[in-house]
């Protein structure tokens, strides 16, 4: 154990020195806060999700437990996964959740 103490201490000291140097270079003490312009508010338009999310079935999962975990409903899971048997999910199977 003592044979590793000196190299470990040296690595620790070098790491602390590098981090201290890095943060002093990145954030000088005399930095002036940036002035920002006020941007008018933009009306946000709700869009349909373009990304498909999947869930990998784990041991003991059912459609209802997956629905709870992914904050959706069983009916939606059934609609998104028409070829998946709701009573015979397989471990490792990927199902669409959104």
- The domain of 84 spans 54-96
Bigger pLDDT: 46 vs 86: 86
Compute the average pLDDT of residues 80-84.
88
CATH number, domain with residue 71 = 3.10.350.10
Q: How far is CA 28 from CA 14, 19, 34, in A?
A: 21, 14, 14
For the chain, the domain total comes to 1
| pTM for this prediction | 0.47
Q: What is the pLDDT of residues 31-60, one digit of tens each?
A: 555 566 666 777 776 666 567 788 899 898
Quick check: is 83 in a domain? yes
Strand intervals (E) in the chain: 54-56, 94-96
* Predicted confidence band of residue 28 (pLDDT cuts 50, 70, 90): low
């Amino acid at each position: 154990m003592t044979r590793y103490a000196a190299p470990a201490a040296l690595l620790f000291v070098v790491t602390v020195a590098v981090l201290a140097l890095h943060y002093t270079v990145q954030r000088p003490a005399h930095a002036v806060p940036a002035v920002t312009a006020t941007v008018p508010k933009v009306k946000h338009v709700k869009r349909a999700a373009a990304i498909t999310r999947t869930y990998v079935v784990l041991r003991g999962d059912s459609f209802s437990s997956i629905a709870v975990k992914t904050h959706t409903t069983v009916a939606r899971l059934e609609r998104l996964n028409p070829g998946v048997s709701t009573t015979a999910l397989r471990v490792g199977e990927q199902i669409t959740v959104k």
